[in-house]
Protein backbone atom coordinates (compact mmCIF):
# COMPACT_ATOMS: atom_id res chain seq x y z
CA UNK A 1 0.00 0.00 0.00
CA UNK A 2 1.34 3.42 -0.94
CA UNK A 3 0.48 6.92 0.16
CA UNK A 4 -1.32 9.16 -2.30
CA UNK A 5 1.92 11.12 -2.75
CA UNK A 6 3.86 7.99 -3.63
CA UNK A 7 1.14 6.88 -6.02
CA UNK A 8 1.23 10.23 -7.75
CA UNK A 9 5.01 10.16 -7.92
CA UNK A 10 5.00 6.76 -9.65
CA UNK A 11 2.34 7.57 -12.18
CA UNK A 12 2.97 11.14 -13.38
CA UNK A 13 5.55 11.60 -16.14
CA UNK A 14 5.02 15.12 -17.47
CA UNK A 15 8.09 17.38 -17.44
CA UNK A 16 8.69 18.82 -14.01
CA UNK A 17 7.27 15.87 -12.05
CA UNK A 18 9.74 13.62 -10.15
CA UNK A 19 9.10 10.58 -12.36
CA UNK A 20 8.91 12.77 -15.46
CA UNK A 21 12.35 14.14 -14.65
CA UNK A 22 13.69 10.64 -13.98
CA UNK A 23 12.32 9.38 -17.32
CA UNK A 24 14.10 12.30 -18.95
CA UNK A 25 17.46 10.84 -17.92
CA UNK A 26 17.06 7.75 -20.16
CA UNK A 27 17.17 6.97 -23.84
CA UNK A 28 13.66 5.71 -24.68
CA UNK A 29 12.29 3.87 -27.71
CA UNK A 30 9.69 6.41 -28.83
CA UNK A 31 8.59 4.74 -32.08
CA UNK A 32 9.35 1.89 -34.46
CA UNK A 33 12.00 2.59 -37.09
CA UNK A 34 9.49 1.41 -39.72
CA UNK A 35 7.27 4.40 -38.93
CA UNK A 36 9.83 6.62 -40.67
CA UNK A 37 11.09 4.04 -43.17
CA UNK A 38 12.83 6.11 -45.85
CA UNK A 39 14.45 9.49 -46.41
CA UNK A 40 11.88 12.27 -47.05
CA UNK A 41 9.04 9.94 -46.00
CA UNK A 42 5.83 11.17 -44.41
CA UNK A 43 6.31 12.64 -40.93
CA UNK A 44 4.87 10.68 -37.99
CA UNK A 45 3.21 11.69 -34.75
CA UNK A 46 5.07 10.78 -31.56
CA UNK A 47 3.28 11.30 -28.26
CA UNK A 48 5.49 10.57 -25.28
CA UNK A 49 5.72 11.64 -21.61
CA UNK A 50 2.86 14.09 -22.14
CA UNK A 51 4.64 15.79 -25.06
CA UNK A 52 3.24 16.02 -28.57
CA UNK A 53 6.08 15.58 -31.04
CA UNK A 54 6.62 14.94 -34.73
CA UNK A 55 9.31 12.73 -36.24
CA UNK A 56 10.71 12.84 -39.77
CA UNK A 57 13.62 11.25 -41.59
CA UNK A 58 15.34 13.93 -43.63
CA UNK A 59 17.04 13.76 -47.03
CA UNK A 60 20.31 12.72 -45.38
CA UNK A 61 18.72 9.92 -43.32
CA UNK A 62 18.82 11.80 -40.02
CA UNK A 63 15.74 11.46 -37.82
CA UNK A 64 14.38 14.71 -36.41
CA UNK A 65 12.09 14.74 -33.40
CA UNK A 66 10.54 18.16 -32.86
CA UNK A 67 7.82 19.67 -30.71
CA UNK A 68 4.80 19.27 -32.96
CA UNK A 69 3.67 22.90 -32.57
CA UNK A 70 4.90 25.18 -35.30
CA UNK A 71 6.50 28.27 -33.71
CA UNK A 72 4.51 30.52 -36.06
CA UNK A 73 0.93 29.78 -34.96
CA UNK A 74 1.15 26.33 -33.40
CA UNK A 75 -0.40 24.12 -36.02
CA UNK A 76 0.84 20.56 -35.98
CA UNK A 77 3.95 20.04 -38.10
CA UNK A 78 2.63 16.50 -38.72
CA UNK A 79 0.62 18.00 -41.61
CA UNK A 80 3.80 19.33 -43.13
CA UNK A 81 5.99 18.46 -46.11
CA UNK A 82 9.23 16.57 -45.52
CA UNK A 83 11.46 17.90 -48.28
CA UNK A 84 15.08 18.91 -48.97
CA UNK A 85 16.53 18.28 -45.52
CA UNK A 86 13.73 19.74 -43.46
CA UNK A 87 10.10 19.71 -42.45
CA UNK A 88 7.99 22.50 -43.94
CA UNK A 89 4.80 23.52 -42.11
CA UNK A 90 1.66 22.96 -44.19
CA UNK A 91 0.05 26.20 -42.99
CA UNK A 92 2.43 29.00 -44.15
CA UNK A 93 5.55 27.14 -45.22
CA UNK A 94 8.01 27.76 -42.38
CA UNK A 95 10.70 25.11 -42.49
CA UNK A 96 12.81 23.40 -39.79
CA UNK A 97 15.77 21.04 -39.91
CA UNK A 98 16.36 18.04 -37.61
CA UNK A 99 18.07 20.28 -35.05
CA UNK A 100 14.98 22.47 -34.84
CA UNK A 101 16.70 25.36 -36.61
CA UNK A 102 14.32 27.46 -38.66
CA UNK A 103 15.72 27.57 -42.20
CA UNK A 104 12.94 29.37 -44.08
CA UNK A 105 10.18 31.87 -43.31
CA UNK A 106 8.73 32.39 -46.81
CA UNK A 107 5.45 34.19 -46.00
CA UNK A 108 6.88 37.58 -44.97
CA UNK A 109 9.44 39.99 -46.51
CA UNK A 110 11.38 40.07 -43.23
CA UNK A 111 11.58 36.23 -43.27
CA UNK A 112 15.18 36.04 -44.52
CA UNK A 113 16.51 37.55 -41.30
CA UNK A 114 13.54 36.86 -38.96
CA UNK A 115 14.14 33.10 -39.33
CA UNK A 116 17.39 33.44 -37.36
CA UNK A 117 15.38 34.35 -34.26
CA UNK A 118 13.19 31.24 -34.49
CA UNK A 119 13.75 27.63 -33.40
CA UNK A 120 11.39 24.71 -32.83
CA UNK A 121 10.02 24.62 -29.26
CA UNK A 122 12.00 21.41 -28.76
CA UNK A 123 14.34 19.24 -30.84
CA UNK A 124 15.52 15.99 -29.28
CA UNK A 125 18.49 13.81 -30.22
CA UNK A 126 17.58 10.45 -31.74
CA UNK A 127 19.26 7.19 -32.68
CA UNK A 128 17.95 4.47 -34.95
CA UNK A 129 18.90 1.16 -33.36
CA UNK A 130 17.44 -2.31 -32.95
CA UNK A 131 14.30 -1.60 -35.00
CA UNK A 132 13.40 1.43 -32.85
CA UNK A 133 13.89 5.17 -32.99
CA UNK A 134 15.33 6.03 -29.57
CA UNK A 135 15.20 9.54 -28.21
CA UNK A 136 16.57 11.41 -25.26
CA UNK A 137 14.19 14.05 -23.88
CA UNK A 138 16.27 15.29 -20.96
CA UNK A 139 18.72 18.11 -20.28
CA UNK A 140 21.73 18.16 -22.60
CA UNK A 141 24.29 18.06 -19.81
CA UNK A 142 22.79 14.83 -18.40
CA UNK A 143 22.65 12.90 -21.69
CA UNK A 144 23.75 9.36 -20.83
CA UNK A 145 25.57 6.75 -22.93
CA UNK A 146 23.35 4.65 -25.18
CA UNK A 147 21.85 1.57 -23.48
CA UNK A 148 23.45 -1.48 -25.05
CA UNK A 149 20.46 -3.80 -25.15
CA UNK A 150 21.31 -6.92 -27.09
CA UNK A 151 18.46 -6.25 -29.52
CA UNK A 152 20.42 -3.20 -30.72
CA UNK A 153 23.29 -5.42 -31.81
CA UNK A 154 21.45 -8.07 -33.86
CA UNK A 155 20.41 -7.70 -37.53
CA UNK A 156 16.77 -7.25 -38.63
CA UNK A 157 16.48 -10.93 -39.50
CA UNK A 158 17.11 -11.91 -35.86
CA UNK A 159 14.37 -9.85 -34.26
CA UNK A 160 10.67 -9.03 -34.19
CA UNK A 161 8.87 -6.18 -32.45
CA UNK A 162 5.16 -5.70 -31.82
CA UNK A 163 3.84 -2.27 -30.86
CA UNK A 164 0.53 -1.89 -29.03
CA UNK A 165 -1.31 1.16 -27.71
CA UNK A 166 -2.74 0.47 -24.25
CA UNK A 167 -5.07 2.70 -22.30
CA UNK A 168 -3.53 2.63 -18.86
CA UNK A 169 -0.74 4.19 -16.87
CA UNK A 170 2.69 2.73 -17.62
CA UNK A 171 3.34 1.61 -14.05
CA UNK A 172 0.32 -0.61 -13.59
CA UNK A 173 1.08 -2.24 -16.93
CA UNK A 174 4.62 -2.93 -15.78
CA UNK A 175 3.52 -4.21 -12.39
CA UNK A 176 1.56 -6.86 -14.25
CA UNK A 177 4.83 -8.27 -15.41
CA UNK A 178 6.57 -8.12 -12.07
CA UNK A 179 3.82 -10.36 -10.79
CA UNK A 180 4.77 -13.99 -11.19
CA UNK A 181 1.86 -15.57 -9.30
CA UNK A 182 -0.84 -14.32 -11.67
CA UNK A 183 0.38 -16.75 -14.31
CA UNK A 184 -0.95 -19.69 -12.30
CA UNK A 185 -4.44 -18.15 -12.38
CA UNK A 186 -5.09 -15.57 -15.09
CA UNK A 187 -3.35 -17.58 -17.83
CA UNK A 188 -4.38 -21.05 -16.65
CA UNK A 189 -7.07 -23.48 -17.75
CA UNK A 190 -9.81 -25.00 -15.69
CA UNK A 191 -10.17 -28.18 -17.75
CA UNK A 192 -7.54 -30.85 -18.16
CA UNK A 193 -6.39 -29.39 -21.46
CA UNK A 194 -2.90 -28.23 -22.02
CA UNK A 195 -2.14 -24.62 -21.18
CA UNK A 196 -0.74 -22.83 -24.23
CA UNK A 197 2.13 -21.39 -22.19
CA UNK A 198 2.98 -24.74 -20.60
CA UNK A 199 2.75 -26.38 -24.01
CA UNK A 200 5.15 -23.85 -25.46
CA UNK A 201 7.76 -24.80 -22.96
CA UNK A 202 7.43 -27.95 -20.88
CA UNK A 203 9.53 -26.60 -18.05
CA UNK A 204 6.97 -23.89 -17.52
CA UNK A 205 4.51 -26.59 -16.45
CA UNK A 206 5.92 -26.04 -12.96
CA UNK A 207 4.58 -22.53 -13.16
CA UNK A 208 1.03 -23.85 -13.26
CA UNK A 209 1.39 -26.56 -10.64
CA UNK A 210 2.94 -24.28 -7.99
CA UNK A 211 0.94 -21.08 -7.54
CA UNK A 212 2.96 -19.65 -4.65
CA UNK A 213 6.39 -18.54 -5.87
CA UNK A 214 8.94 -17.27 -3.39
CA UNK A 215 11.19 -14.38 -4.37
CA UNK A 216 14.84 -13.44 -4.22
CA UNK A 217 16.09 -10.08 -5.47
CA UNK A 218 19.43 -8.71 -6.43
CA UNK A 219 20.05 -5.01 -6.97
CA UNK A 220 22.18 -4.26 -10.02
CA UNK A 221 23.65 -1.17 -11.72
CA UNK A 222 20.73 -1.05 -14.13
CA UNK A 223 17.81 -2.27 -12.00
CA UNK A 224 16.88 -5.46 -10.18
CA UNK A 225 17.20 -9.17 -10.94
CA UNK A 226 14.04 -10.88 -9.82
CA UNK A 227 14.27 -14.60 -9.04
CA UNK A 228 10.98 -16.47 -8.55
CA UNK A 229 11.32 -20.03 -7.19
CA UNK A 230 8.76 -22.77 -7.54
CA UNK A 231 8.83 -26.45 -6.70
CA UNK A 232 9.87 -28.44 -9.75
CA UNK A 233 9.91 -32.18 -10.40
CA UNK A 234 12.41 -34.58 -8.73
CA UNK A 235 13.19 -32.32 -5.78
CA UNK A 236 14.48 -29.58 -8.07
CA UNK A 237 13.76 -25.90 -7.86
CA UNK A 238 12.30 -24.20 -10.90
CA UNK A 239 13.74 -20.68 -11.07
CA UNK A 240 12.62 -17.86 -13.30
CA UNK A 241 15.10 -15.01 -13.23
CA UNK A 242 13.55 -11.93 -14.83
CA UNK A 243 15.28 -8.62 -15.32
CA UNK A 244 13.88 -5.21 -14.54
CA UNK A 245 15.89 -2.38 -16.06
CA UNK A 246 15.10 1.16 -15.06
CA UNK A 247 12.79 2.77 -15.87
CA UNK A 248 10.33 0.46 -17.63
CA UNK A 249 12.09 -2.43 -19.33
CA UNK A 250 11.40 -6.01 -18.29
CA UNK A 251 12.91 -9.21 -19.62
CA UNK A 252 10.87 -12.33 -19.15
CA UNK A 253 12.57 -15.63 -18.57
CA UNK A 254 12.81 -18.29 -21.25
CA UNK A 255 15.13 -21.24 -21.35
CA UNK A 256 18.66 -21.04 -22.84
CA UNK A 257 18.84 -21.27 -26.63
CA UNK A 258 15.35 -19.84 -27.23
CA UNK A 259 14.58 -16.26 -28.30
CA UNK A 260 15.05 -13.55 -25.68
CA UNK A 261 12.07 -11.39 -24.69
CA UNK A 262 12.10 -7.70 -23.82
CA UNK A 263 8.94 -5.81 -22.95
CA UNK A 264 8.85 -2.05 -22.73
CA UNK A 265 6.23 0.50 -21.78
CA UNK A 266 6.71 4.12 -22.71
CA UNK A 267 4.16 6.58 -21.28
CA UNK A 268 2.17 8.53 -23.88
CA UNK A 269 0.61 10.45 -21.01
CA UNK A 270 -0.54 9.44 -17.54
CA UNK A 271 -3.48 7.43 -18.85
CA UNK A 272 -2.06 5.67 -21.89
CA UNK A 273 1.13 3.92 -22.92
CA UNK A 274 2.93 2.37 -25.81
CA UNK A 275 3.78 -1.24 -25.15
CA UNK A 276 6.50 -2.97 -27.16
CA UNK A 277 7.04 -6.70 -27.11
CA UNK A 278 10.40 -7.50 -28.68
CA UNK A 279 11.98 -10.88 -29.26
CA UNK A 280 15.30 -11.75 -30.82
CA UNK A 281 17.69 -14.60 -31.19
CA UNK A 282 21.27 -13.61 -30.42
CA UNK A 283 22.99 -15.82 -32.99
CA UNK A 284 20.64 -16.71 -35.83
CA UNK A 285 17.64 -15.39 -37.79
CA UNK A 286 14.25 -16.07 -36.23
CA UNK A 287 12.62 -19.11 -37.80
CA UNK A 288 9.36 -18.67 -39.70
CA UNK A 289 7.59 -20.35 -36.79
CA UNK A 290 9.14 -18.05 -34.18
CA UNK A 291 8.20 -15.05 -36.27
CA UNK A 292 4.67 -16.33 -36.80
CA UNK A 293 4.36 -17.10 -33.09
CA UNK A 294 5.53 -13.60 -32.27
CA UNK A 295 2.89 -12.12 -34.55
CA UNK A 296 -0.12 -14.29 -33.77
CA UNK A 297 0.74 -17.82 -32.80
CA UNK A 298 2.31 -19.38 -29.74
CA UNK A 299 0.64 -17.46 -27.01
CA UNK A 300 -2.05 -16.26 -29.42
CA UNK A 301 -0.96 -12.69 -29.80
CA UNK A 302 -4.08 -10.73 -30.71
CA UNK A 303 -4.44 -9.05 -34.08
CA UNK A 304 -4.42 -5.29 -34.40
CA UNK A 305 -7.19 -3.18 -35.92
CA UNK A 306 -5.78 -2.49 -39.41
CA UNK A 307 -3.90 0.80 -39.69
CA UNK A 308 -3.66 1.19 -35.89
CA UNK A 309 -1.72 -0.15 -32.93
CA UNK A 310 -4.97 -1.00 -31.12
CA UNK A 311 -5.67 -4.66 -30.46
CA UNK A 312 -8.93 -6.11 -31.78
CA UNK A 313 -9.56 -7.50 -28.31
CA UNK A 314 -9.86 -4.36 -26.20
CA UNK A 315 -11.80 -2.63 -23.44
CA UNK A 316 -14.53 -1.44 -25.84
CA UNK A 317 -15.59 -5.03 -26.54
CA UNK A 318 -14.68 -6.50 -23.14
CA UNK A 319 -11.68 -8.19 -24.80
CA UNK A 320 -14.21 -10.53 -26.49
CA UNK A 321 -14.56 -12.46 -23.24
CA UNK A 322 -16.36 -15.79 -23.67
CA UNK A 323 -18.20 -16.57 -20.44
CA UNK A 324 -19.03 -20.12 -21.58
CA UNK A 325 -15.36 -20.83 -22.10
CA UNK A 326 -14.61 -19.25 -18.72
CA UNK A 327 -16.88 -21.83 -17.04
CA UNK A 328 -15.47 -24.86 -18.81
CA UNK A 329 -12.05 -24.18 -20.31
CA UNK A 330 -10.07 -21.06 -19.61
CA UNK A 331 -9.67 -19.33 -16.25
CA UNK A 332 -10.27 -15.88 -17.76
CA UNK A 333 -12.48 -16.61 -20.78
CA UNK A 334 -10.30 -14.23 -22.83
CA UNK A 335 -8.68 -15.88 -25.78
CA UNK A 336 -5.23 -14.43 -26.27
CA UNK A 337 -2.72 -14.43 -23.44
CA UNK A 338 -1.61 -10.79 -23.86
CA UNK A 339 -5.26 -9.63 -23.94
CA UNK A 340 -5.79 -11.49 -20.65
CA UNK A 341 -3.04 -9.31 -19.19
CA UNK A 342 -4.39 -6.11 -20.75
CA UNK A 343 -7.92 -6.70 -19.44
CA UNK A 344 -6.78 -6.90 -15.83
CA UNK A 345 -4.12 -4.19 -16.20
CA UNK A 346 -6.22 -1.58 -18.02
CA UNK A 347 -9.25 -2.00 -15.77
CA UNK A 348 -7.90 -1.38 -12.24
CA UNK A 349 -10.46 1.13 -11.06
CA UNK A 350 -9.54 3.06 -14.19
CA UNK A 351 -6.36 3.82 -16.09
CA UNK A 352 -4.57 5.04 -12.94
CA UNK A 353 -4.80 2.58 -10.09
CA UNK A 354 -5.19 3.83 -6.51
CA UNK A 355 -2.45 2.05 -4.60
CA UNK A 356 -3.58 3.48 -1.29
CA UNK A 357 -6.42 0.92 -1.09
CA UNK A 358 -4.60 -2.25 -2.11
CA UNK A 359 -3.74 -5.23 0.14
CA UNK A 360 -0.43 -6.75 -0.84
CA UNK A 361 0.84 -10.25 0.08
CA UNK A 362 4.25 -11.91 -0.04
CA UNK A 363 3.93 -12.89 -3.71
CA UNK A 364 3.78 -9.15 -4.52
CA UNK A 365 7.34 -8.71 -3.26
CA UNK A 366 8.83 -7.95 -6.69
CA UNK A 367 6.34 -5.14 -7.26
CA UNK A 368 7.24 -3.69 -3.87
CA UNK A 369 10.98 -3.81 -4.51
CA UNK A 370 10.72 -2.09 -7.92
CA UNK A 371 8.42 0.62 -6.54
CA UNK A 372 10.86 1.33 -3.74
CA UNK A 373 13.80 1.66 -6.09
CA UNK A 374 11.87 3.97 -8.45
CA UNK A 375 10.52 6.16 -5.67
CA UNK A 376 13.94 6.48 -4.05
CA UNK A 377 15.72 7.25 -7.33
CA UNK A 378 13.12 9.84 -8.37
CA UNK A 379 13.28 11.54 -4.95
CA UNK A 380 17.08 11.53 -4.96
CA UNK A 381 17.03 13.24 -8.35
CA UNK A 382 14.70 15.91 -6.99
CA UNK A 383 17.31 16.52 -4.31
CA UNK A 384 20.08 16.82 -6.86
CA UNK A 385 21.55 13.31 -7.02
CA UNK A 386 21.67 12.15 -10.64
CA UNK A 387 20.63 8.49 -11.17
CA UNK A 388 23.36 5.92 -11.76
CA UNK A 389 21.27 3.59 -13.92
CA UNK A 390 21.34 5.55 -17.21
CA UNK A 391 25.10 5.96 -16.84
CA UNK A 392 25.34 2.14 -16.80
CA UNK A 393 24.26 1.84 -20.43
CA UNK A 394 26.86 -0.81 -21.20
CA UNK A 395 25.34 -2.97 -18.46
CA UNK A 396 21.95 -3.12 -20.19
CA UNK A 397 23.17 -6.04 -22.32
CA UNK A 398 21.71 -8.73 -20.07
CA UNK A 399 19.30 -11.61 -20.47
CA UNK A 400 16.73 -13.31 -18.29
CA UNK A 401 16.74 -17.08 -17.82
CA UNK A 402 14.59 -19.91 -16.56
CA UNK A 403 16.19 -23.07 -15.34
CA UNK A 404 15.94 -26.03 -13.00
CA UNK A 405 18.49 -26.10 -10.21
CA UNK A 406 19.18 -28.49 -7.36
CA UNK A 407 17.17 -27.54 -4.36
CA UNK A 408 20.21 -26.32 -2.41
CA UNK A 409 21.82 -24.47 -5.33
CA UNK A 410 22.28 -20.72 -5.03
CA UNK A 411 20.28 -19.11 -7.83
CA UNK A 412 22.66 -16.25 -8.69
CA UNK A 413 25.54 -18.75 -9.03
CA UNK A 414 23.43 -21.18 -11.04
CA UNK A 415 22.13 -18.49 -13.37
CA UNK A 416 25.28 -16.40 -13.74
CA UNK A 417 26.61 -17.87 -16.98
CA UNK A 418 23.27 -17.21 -18.75
CA UNK A 419 22.66 -13.64 -17.68
CA UNK A 420 25.28 -11.81 -19.75
CA UNK A 421 24.31 -11.15 -23.37
CA UNK A 422 27.17 -13.07 -25.01
CA UNK A 423 27.31 -15.82 -27.61
CA UNK A 424 25.97 -19.16 -26.46
S1 LIG B 1 1.59 27.81 -38.42
FE2 LIG B 1 3.33 26.93 -39.31
S3 LIG B 1 3.98 28.31 -40.78
FE4 LIG B 1 2.23 29.24 -39.90
FE1 LIG C 1 0.58 -12.27 -17.76
| Residue of 78, 91, 119 best suited for mutating to test ligand 1, as the one with most atoms within 8 Å of CB | 91
| Residue of 92, 95, 102, 103 best suited for mutating to test ligand 1, as the one with most atoms within 8 Å of CB | 92
Given the CA of residue 74, which atom of ligand 1 is nearest to it? 1
Condensed to tens digits (0 to 9), the pLDDT of residues 113-146 reads 999 999 999 999 999 999 999 999 999 999 999 9
- What per-residue confidence (pLDDT) applies to 297? 47
Report whether the peptide linkage leading into residue 3 is cis, meaning its omega lies within 30 degrees of zero.
no
| Residue of 43, 72, 78, 81 best suited for mutating to test ligand 1, as the one with most atoms within 8 Å of CB | 72
Mark the ranges of the chain whose per-residue pLDDT is less than 50.
199-200, 202, 297
User: Ligand 2 (ion): which residues have CB within 5 A?
Assistant: 341
Ligand nearest to the CA of 118: 1
Residue spans of the domains in the chain: they are: 27-142, 150-419
Given the CA of residue 73, which atom of ligand 1 is nearest to it? 1
The Cα-based distances of 108 to 76, 115, 263, 313, 352 in angstroms read 20, 10, 49, 51, 47
Q: Which residues line ligand 1 (CB under 6 A)?
A: 70, 72-73, 75, 89, 91-94
- What per-residue confidence (pLDDT) applies to 302? 78
Ligand nearest to the CA of 93: 1
- What per-residue confidence (pLDDT) applies to 193? 63
Distance CA 376, CA 387 (A): 10
Distance from the alpha carbon of residue 8 to the mean position of ligand 1, in angstroms: 37
Distance from the alpha carbon of residue 80 to the mean position of ligand 1, in angstroms: 9
User: Which CATH homologous superfamily contains domain 27-142?
Assistant: Rieske [2Fe-2S] iron-sulphur domain (2.102.10.10)
Given the CA of residue 94, which atom of ligand 1 is nearest to it? 3
Q: Which residue is closest in CA terms to ligand 1's atom 3?
A: 92
Q: Which residue is closest in CA terms to ligand 1's atom 1?
A: 73
Domain 150-419: top CATH class: alpha beta
Distance from the alpha carbon of residue 254 to the mean position of ligand 2, in angstroms: 14
Distance from the alpha carbon of residue 183 to the mean position of ligand 2, in angstroms: 6
- What per-residue confidence (pLDDT) applies to 255? 82
Amino acid sequence: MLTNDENELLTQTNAGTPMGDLYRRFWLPVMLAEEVPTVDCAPARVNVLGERLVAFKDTDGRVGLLDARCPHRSTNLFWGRNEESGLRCAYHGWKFDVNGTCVDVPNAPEGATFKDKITAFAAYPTQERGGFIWAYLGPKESQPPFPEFEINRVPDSHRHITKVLLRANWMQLMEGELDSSHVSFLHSRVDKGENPLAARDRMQGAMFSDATPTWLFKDTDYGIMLGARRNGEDNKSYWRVNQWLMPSFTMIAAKPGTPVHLQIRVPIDDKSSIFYRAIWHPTRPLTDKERWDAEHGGVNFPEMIPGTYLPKENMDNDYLIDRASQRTTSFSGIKSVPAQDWAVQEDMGGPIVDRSIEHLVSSDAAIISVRKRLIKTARDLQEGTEPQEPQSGSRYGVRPIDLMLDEQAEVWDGAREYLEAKAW
